[in-house]
Structure 1
Amino acid sequence: VTEGSSSGYIPDDCSFGNISDDGYGIEPTNIIGSDGRSRVTNTTSFPYSAICYLETKWKDGTTTIGTAWMYWKDIAITAGHCVYSSDRGGWAKSVTIWPGRNGSTTPYGSAYAKVMHTSTAWTNSSNANYDYGLLELNKNIGTSTGYFGMHWTSSSLNGKSITVAGYPGSSIKIRQLWKMNGKVASCNANKVYYSIDTEGGQSGSPVYWYNSTYGYQGIAIHAYGGSSNNSGTRITQSLFDFFTSFRD
């Protein structure tokens, strides 16, 4: 087996987003050249309805923001550093998400994580190759928002067209969904690199593409900014199997 896929879900009352939209999206502010991001205002159309503004409250009393994306009716995917931080006391006290948030408008309300998961490689040594998180939510909010599929492959992703969409943390963009399209610049076994503009707050954003058979599929989880490329945690076979095991 060299690759695998899972399908997403679009509710009947959730309109379908234009798959050819030009877009915009990561962390800290990493704008490569001019800022190519654009704001998404139709956050109740899929797949934007399944992308979530996230707030984490930590044991040291601080609160941080991030992004998550629905992968099942009660499962959301995010970055590991949105659920566990050795600098902030370890596991988060609480993580709350608002799917499809658009400023002060929260069309699907909120849900919180009953259980949080990440890799021991992340909790023990902050290994960036394993910076991922999974949230088991307190309600089946994904039946209203829809949810992404997922894809893994052992082949190169170089040159593949992708989108990154999430919630930047800057004061003029906070609680707004922004996205950008681009291509995979390079990849290795655990990371995917791209020159898509990102900003703090977009950690946990889906790095996704559209497949005519399976729909919108996450292929990585945005996690880091860089001087020439930004990057996400690649969906590997083992990570795909782990995430998909929570689909009942």
Structure 2
Amino acid sequence: MISPTNASPWNMICQLMIEFPDDTVPATGWIAGPRCVVTAGHCLLFHNLGGAANSIVVTPARNATACPYGKFKASSWAPHDQWRDQSNPDWDLGYIRLEKPVNIGAFKFSHFEDSYLKNHYVNIAGYPRHVEKYPSANGDHLFHNANRIRKIGAERLYYDVDATGGQSGAPVWIHKTTGADPIVIGVHAGSAVPGKPGWGGRYNSSPRLTKAKCDVIADWCAASAVGA
């Protein structure tokens, strides 16, 4: 468990409280720009909870009852078209536009060759709904874990890193060198994708950031900065 949460990179990770038609649930997102938070597409459109989200409150660096930067209402949000229209797990991405900017920094994000990624540990931090060793945690405490990437696909990353419900949308990041800035390379979206031979549910996984996905996130950041 991370505490305090007001230093980088923890302060750029957000608790999301998402109201769906059938329930209100916590999830995770990460700051990509002053008014742009990236998360998983299924955090914005989830048919098991009634469909599209009705409202979202974003709390950067939440630490139990402490909200060091305040809470931010979302003015708009959308999953990527390939998640919305096809439920394509490799594009299980979405963005949230904040009503007002949060000026505490933003994650860098990029894409890398397979040969580079296989030498790195991958980090995940998010807001799980339940943690056995911490019964007081209920989607409002930030947890971090790290381990090596176990498999690299063209559109997906697989890793042996503990994560559970509520951490969907969390940044999956590396450090080029010890102490270097974090660079997001994926968006955590749950266990291994059904139908991928030989992997089943053995490892957690994320859509891998490719050039195309990085371009989409950059476009989201640019669009979120326009207008009141």
Q: TM-score, normalised to structure 2's length?
A: 0.85
Secondary structure of residue in 1 paired with 2:109: strand
Which amino acid in the other structure matches residue 108 of structure 1?
Y
Within the alignment, does 1:172 sit opposite 2:146 as a pair? no
Aligned match of 1:210: 175
Distance in 2, matches of 1:108 and 1:89, equals 31
Structure 2 unmatched ranges of 5 or more = 193-200
Q: Percent identity?
A: 29
The equivalences for 1:39-58 within 5 A come to 39-58=1-20
Shift of 1:103: 0.3
Distance in 2, matches of 1:241 and 1:83, equals 20
Within the alignment, does 1:95 sit opposite 2:62 as a pair? no
Out of 237-246 and 121-130, give the one that drifted further.
Answer: 121-130
Secondary structure of residue in 2 paired with 1:153: coil
Shift of 1:125: 2.8
Residues 176-204 of structure 1 show CA distances to partners (whole Å, capped at 9, x for unaligned) of 00001111111212111000111110000
Residues 96-148 of structure 1 show CA distances to partners (whole Å, capped at 9, x for unaligned) of 1100000000001111221212222211232211111111111111x1x2210
Which amino acid in the other structure matches residue 7 of structure 2?
S
Within the alignment, does 1:65 sit opposite 2:31 as a pair? no
Structure 1 unmatched ranges of 5 or more = 1-38
User: How many residues are paired up?
Assistant: 207
Distance in 1, matches of 2:171 and 2:24, equals 22
Distance in 1, matches of 2:64 and 2:14, equals 12
The equivalences for 1:167-246 within 5 A come to 167-170=127-130, 171-174=135-138, 175-211=140-176, 215-226=181-192, 227-245=201-219, 246=221
Secondary structure of residue in 2 paired with 1:238: helix
Shift of 1:91: 1.9
Which amino acid in the other structure matches residue 30 of structure 2?
W
The equivalences for 1:94-133 within 5 A come to 94-133=55-94
Q: CA RMSD for the aligned pairs?
A: 1.8
Which amino acid in the other structure matches residue 147 of structure 1?
A
Distance in 2, matches of 1:139 and 1:210, equals 30
Which structure has the higher relative contact order (CA within 8 Å, separation 6+)? Answer: 1
Distance in 2, matches of 1:104 and 1:132, equals 28
Distance in 1, matches of 2:120 and 2:145, equals 14
Shift of 1:154: 4.3
Is the CA contact (8 Å cut-off) linking 2:41 and 2:92 kept in structure 1? yes
Distance in 1, matches of 2:8 and 2:180, equals 14
